[in-house]
Structure 1
Amino acid sequence: MTRLIAPMLAAVALAGCASNSEPMPAEGGCNVTVVFGSYAMGIDSETFQQVDAWVERRTDLVPHTTTSTWGREGEKTMCLTTLSPAATRQVYAAIEKMIPRTSRRGPVEVKDDTGRSFQSKMPAEMAR
């Protein structure tokens, strides 16, 4: 048993020395998650296209992206893997600015692996 502990500790120590140039997937693989929901009329495709285009241009911050469609009305979840905690903060901040404060067609939410999140609000006329 003690012969197994030393190699395990060495592996843990070496894992902590990883380069910052490698993607840092969070638990579940997403450092930043963007969810596009629907109020029974499809997603906010304008915001989705804006976020998607930005992510495609910023491979220096987001080297890996997956998008899963999960709903009947095109609901999607984007899973973004960033290069560092600083990149995660920068990606989160940029995407938060793209999300309208009041949703146009459906809710849009961005969250990061630290627990920070922002979601667009439902329009007042829909809340009645």
Structure 2
Amino acid sequence: MAKIHNVSDYPEYSAAIEEVQVRSPKIFAYFYGNEDPATKKSWCPDCVLADPVIKEAFKNAPQDLEIVRVAVGERAAWKTPDNVYRLKAKVKCIPTLIKLENGEEAGRLEELDCAAPEKVNSFLRS
């Protein structure tokens, strides 16, 4: 199973990326809509579809892989054009899985691609 770092705001995201880059040149960042504590489901319908696929892929990913799992906020906060993840991480939609190599984006899966097991597994092993 990959090592997963759960973060819930941009400063935590930045710090996690910096910390992991010291150990690994390749990092994955997974952006999704916050989960309701009562239902444990995201407000984002595409995230709900992708969630079981992503969890299984992370579970089966190489042990040395590091993933930063990022809750982008509640729906109203995410939908604003000045959302910090839209501006600084260039996330246009959720769910989004981004591969970073040596601090630079090297690929991404967006929306329903994150619900396709073969795409997610292949991407994590690329």
TM-score range, shorter chain: 0.3 to 0.5
| Structure that is richer in strand per residue | 2
| Structure that is richer in helix per residue | 2
Q: Which has the larger radius of gyration?
A: 1
